[in-house]
Amino acid sequence: MNLLVIGGGGREHALAWKLAQGSGVNRVYLTPGNPGMAIDEKLECTGIAAGEFASIASLVKEKNISFVVVGPDQAMADGAVDFLEAKGIPTFGPTKEASRIEWSKAYSKDLMRSAGIPTAKYETFDTAVAARKFLTEVEWADGWVIKADGLALGKGVVVCSSREEALKTVDDFLAGSMGAAGKKIVVEERLIGREVSAFFLCDGEIGVPLGLACDYKRIFDNDEGPNTGGMGAFSPADWVEKDFVSRVGKEVTKPLLAAMKSRGSPFKGIVFIGLMVTEQGPKVLEFNARFGDPETQVLMPLIDEDLLLWLRAAREGKLSTMPPSGPKLKKVHGVHVVLAAAGYPGTPKKGDAIAIDPSLVSPASWERNSVKLFFAGVAKQGERLATNGGRVLGLTALAASREEARKKAYGELEKIKFSGAQRRTDVGR
Ligand code: AMP
Ligand code: GLY
């Protein structure tokens, strides 16, 4: 059996690597993939861009691909699943309409409000006058968060500690600083608490848990500096209360799926729920309609089953035939640390040669030492790999405790060098 993963970053590397371990899997193609993925024998990068749906459909025919998994949010929002399914190609992920819970924050907030899902208080606006009036009148003790409605590569959210900053952000967004994504905005109450992300695999009717992860969004240690796509992650989140996952299932996933179904766009795929654990319990910060990056790089190595069986059951609406507790997870801890290029999250420097100790790219690294390298922003430079994007690569280590996994991950990362490499030193601490 041949499979296809759409996308080319670390998340897609982890998905393709995990799928390749399934029984009966011959090859996993990627569109586009990246040249670092060649470290894994069954993976094959095609260079076809994630948005070229017609070329992807041709590839599926040509390579006899029987199942497609969509990675990036943009592909979902552009209708990759609708396009491929209409051609009779079994594709895992939500339709364009179902992924609206991610690509419109105003839509997702309205859905949460009407379905009674716990979330921060908010209002939506499309004129600066109305938003400014609201901001000067409303009293929220802990501050304001301004969000662009549309997809903005993680840059569309500003947590404001003063009213002045909130007013200025409103003006900037509505004056076009976020492009079309910021034509509409959400003004939201700032929540105080600790963040965790919950992943549920959904089949339109029910959802099963796929794990919890905590990520590191800021570029520098102690959550300082600008936001990034994510500089690292760990799983499981060992600090939440015992019944946390079932509580999120009951209070969030269940009403979400019921609301989507009644709106005529049942949600099939992965829902990635960003949560703030507040004194009043968990509240939803956002929904994503896909796997997280870098959360996936820590979750995939922890899954102790054939992932394809689960993704197929979800696409076919048959999760009720699988164990309700979801795929089995290994009883160990995972820590994933990203190495980013100089300049990231601004303009990343490209073209620096990457030196990697050969032991890290051999299958034994995973098989004997539970250490796995995933590539993202890399290009071929002669026979070597060179930096070619913001987040260049990342490394996951598993061990009996989070602290051990953390030490192992940082120890192994020493075997990789490139000029100007940036990493956080506090992932998993
Ligand atoms: P989002 O893309 O909505 O998850 O927002 C990105 C980040 O902004 C989150 O991970 C939080 O750190 C922060 N954030 C978003 N909404 C809120 C809120 N209502 N209160 C506090 N922080 C928030
Ligand atoms: N790590 C955050 C995201 O994938 O959106």
Residue bearing tokens 């400014």: 132
Q: What percent of the chain has pLDDT over 70?
A: 100
pLDDT of residue 390: 97
* Whether the predicted pLDDT of 235 surpasses 90: yes
Ligand number with the minimum distance to the CA of 215: 2
* Whether the predicted pLDDT of 155 surpasses 90: no
Q: What percent of the chain has pLDDT over 90?
A: 97
Within 6 A (CB) of ligand 1 lie 120, 145, 147, 157, 159, 188, 190-191, 195, 217, 274, 285-286
CA angle at 383 for the pair 379 and 386, rounded to the nearest 5°: 30
Could you count the other beta carbons within 10 Å of the beta carbon of residue 409? 25
Low-confidence winner among 82-91, 153-162, 326-335 (lowest mean pLDDT): 153-162
- Kind of pairing between the strands at 384-387 and 65-70: unpaired
Chain centroid, CA 394 distance in Å = 14
Mean pLDDT, residues 352-373 taken together: 97
| 142 confidence band (pLDDT: 50, 70, 90) | very high
Concatenated DSSP letters for 268-311? EEEEEEEEEEETTEEEEEEEESS--TTHHHHHGGGB-S-HHHHH
pLDDT of residue 152: 86
CA angle at 122 for the pair 117 and 128, rounded to the nearest 5°: 150
**Nearest-CA neighbor of 147 among 213, 192, 102?**
102
Q: Give CA–CA dist 332/62, Å, rounded.
A: 40
Q: How many residues appear in the chain? A: 429
Q: Whose CA is nearest to atom 3 of ligand 2?
A: 292
Q: What is the pLDDT of residues 315-335, one digit of tens each?
A: 999 999 999 999 999 999 999
Mean pLDDT, residues 391-417 taken together: 98
Within 6 A (CB) of ligand 2 lie 215, 229-230, 288, 292-293, 295
Q: Whose CA is nearest to atom 8 of ligand 1?
A: 157
| 396 confidence band (pLDDT: 50, 70, 90) | very high
Residue bearing tokens 């490394």: 395
* Whether the predicted pLDDT of 161 surpasses 90: no
Give the predicted TM-score (pTM) of the model. Answer: 0.97
**Nearest-CA neighbor of 141 among 189, 188, 194?**
189
For residue 108, what are its two tokens? 């997702």
Cα-to-centroid distance, 216 and ligand 2 (Å): 10
217 CA closest ligand 2 atom index = 1
* Mean pLDDT (the chain, rounded): 97
Q: Give CA–CA dist 371/361, Å, rounded.
A: 10
Q: Give CA–CA dist 92/89, Å, rounded.
A: 10
Give the type of residue at 306. D
Cα-to-centroid distance, 318 and ligand 1 (Å): 33
Chain centroid, CA 404 distance in Å = 25
Give yes or no for a contact between 348 and 420, defined as CB atoms under 8 angstroms apart: no
